[in-house]
Structure 1
Amino acid sequence: MSDLNQLPADLPVPEDDGAADHLTGLAAPPVELPDTAGETVRIDALGAGRTVLYVYPLTGRPGTDLPQGWDAIPGARGCTTEACDFRDHHQDLLAAGAGRVFGLSSQDLAYQEEVVERLRLPFAMLSDLTLSLAGALDLPTFEAGGRTLFKRLTLIIRDGVIEHVFYPVFPPNEHARQVLAWLRDNPA
């Protein structure tokens, strides 16, 4: 068991394997997902403007072990610190042109609701139990603990089209600031 709020000093850096190279310019797919605000979000109907959709493997819970070898998998560790970075910079992201921010993983809705409450997140999280977004967009995944999980990436969706992709994401605890810098450098 390790502290979910701290990243190990020797965290392996994920390498760009090209698995997200095809995404920029694609239309957002008609995938519907439940969110922690009690709504159903359709990815191709997010509305005008930019949406930041950060996708991650899984958020650990205090008192619950992570999958075996988790810290050794490049890009796996850091979901809690990433969520906290998006929480801490949420208002800055909105001020820089993001109309909305969502986190997304394959964890169930009750799990996502617990994360929103425990981490005091000011945005909704999406639950994609069947990895339908991965199927629709051919998103990169990996296996851990007997499960298929999303690899960490972030999509900037503007007016129904994927405008920009962050992949691989590292370090996860600074990723919201990377997104913020991109939004400021690329005004809509």
Structure 2
Amino acid sequence: MSHTTFPSDIPVPTDDGACDHLKGMKMPPLSLPATNDSLVKISSLQGLVVIFCYPRTGAPNETIPDSWNSIPGARGCTPQACSFRDLSRQFLTAGVNKIFGLSTQDTSYQQEVKTRLNLPFELLSDEKLDFVEALKLPTIDWEGKSLIKRITLAIADGKIVKIWYPVFPPDQSAQHVLDWLAEEQTNEQKFVGNRRMSVT
């Protein structure tokens, strides 16, 4: 499945400090619709949860305009989702309880993506921008819609403990999180109640 390629000449995003305020923040008590038709309240989830926020995935056979490619960090949502799909077992071994993708696209759109890409995790819709506004997340304005800039969050028992921003290249996003998890295990740093350390 060749969903993991994207142009090599796309502009690299820079850290503009727009996510510096997130470290240590507690998740707001919001419930977001998921692709399995449930409502997910992130603040109530136990253990370690990884959420990768992405702007938008393209529709099947959609032609990606140059104007989209020219936005630093915009291109690469499908390769990012596939990176988490392909390494999902390693996340479970590393003690991650849940993985979610999150965008401002609606649930029906996300359900098609989940099925087409065979994603083993749910996608969350922030179509009403409740999550964006509560966390003051940076956005991209695109064709009259607000899209979330690419951010990955590690959340332990409802509290943000690690932020990846900007995320680049997007197809390496999942590996970057796994590398951090391995480093945390090496340093024997444990988040209370969040992790079942793998025993070999």
TM-score band by shorter chain is over 0.9
Residue ranges of structure 2 left out of the alignment (5+ in a row): 191-200
Cα pair distance change 1:4/1:121, threshold 3 Å: closer
Contact 1:67 1:144 (8 Å CA) reproduced: no
Q: 2:142 aligns with which of 132, 135, 144?
A: 144
In structure 2, what is the equivalent of residue 94 of structure 1? 92
Q: 1:166 aligns with which of 164, 177, 191?
A: 164
Tell me if 1:118 matches 2:128: no
In structure 1, what is the equivalent of residue 25 of structure 2? 26
In structure 2, what is the equivalent of residue 46 of structure 1? 45
Q: Which has the larger radius of gyration?
A: 2
In structure 1, what is the equivalent of residue 59 of structure 2? 61
Task: Supply the distance in 2 between the matched residues of 1:154 and 1:125 (Cα, whole angstroms).
Answer: 14
In structure 2, what is the equivalent of residue 104 of structure 1? 102
Q: What's the secondary structure of 2:110's corresponding residue?
A: helix
Let me know the Cα RMSD of the aligned residues.
Answer: 1.3
Deviations 1:88-137 (Å, cap 9, x if unpaired)?
Answer: 00110111121110000001101110011000000011011011111001
Contact 1:4 1:62 (8 Å CA) reproduced: no
Cα pair distance change 1:4/1:76, threshold 3 Å: farther
Cα pair distance change 1:144/1:4, threshold 3 Å: farther
Following TM superposition, by how much is the alpha carbon of 1:65 offset from its aligned partner in structure 2, in angstroms?
A: 3.4
Task: Supply the distance in 2 between the matched residues of 1:128 and 1:88 (Cα, whole angstroms).
Answer: 24
Residue ranges of structure 1 left out of the alignment (5+ in a row): none
Q: What's the secondary structure of 1:22's corresponding residue?
A: helix
Q: Give the AA of the match of 2:17.
A: G
Q: What's the secondary structure of 1:111's corresponding residue?
A: helix
Task: Supply the distance in 2 between the matched residues of 1:5 and 1:93 (Cα, whole angstroms).
Answer: 19
In structure 2, what is the equivalent of residue 6 of structure 1? 5
Task: Supply the distance in 2 between the matched residues of 1:171 and 1:151 (Cα, whole angstroms).
Answer: 13
Following TM superposition, by how much is the alpha carbon of 1:64 offset from its aligned partner in structure 2, in angstroms?
A: 2.2
Number of aligned residues:
185
Following TM superposition, by how much is the alpha carbon of 1:146 offset from its aligned partner in structure 2, in angstroms?
A: 1.9
Q: Give the AA of the match of 1:65.
A: T
With 144-153 and 167-176 compared, the bigger mean Cα shift is at 144-153
Task: Supply the distance in 1 between the matched residues of 2:66 and 2:140 (Cα, whole angstroms).
Answer: 14
Q: What's the secondary structure of 2:22's corresponding residue?
A: coil
Q: 4+ residue stretches of structure 1 with deviation over 4 A?
A: none
Q: Give the AA of the match of 1:132.
A: D
Contact 1:4 1:78 (8 Å CA) reproduced: no
Contact 1:44 1:160 (8 Å CA) reproduced: yes
Task: Supply the distance in 2 between the matched residues of 1:5 and 1:154 (Cα, whole angstroms).
Answer: 18
Cα pair distance change 1:148/1:66, threshold 3 Å: farther
Following TM superposition, by how much is the alpha carbon of 1:39 offset from its aligned partner in structure 2, in angstroms?
A: 1.1
Q: Give the AA of the match of 1:18.
A: G
Q: What's the secondary structure of 2:132's corresponding residue?
A: helix
TM-score norm. by structure 2 comes to 0.89
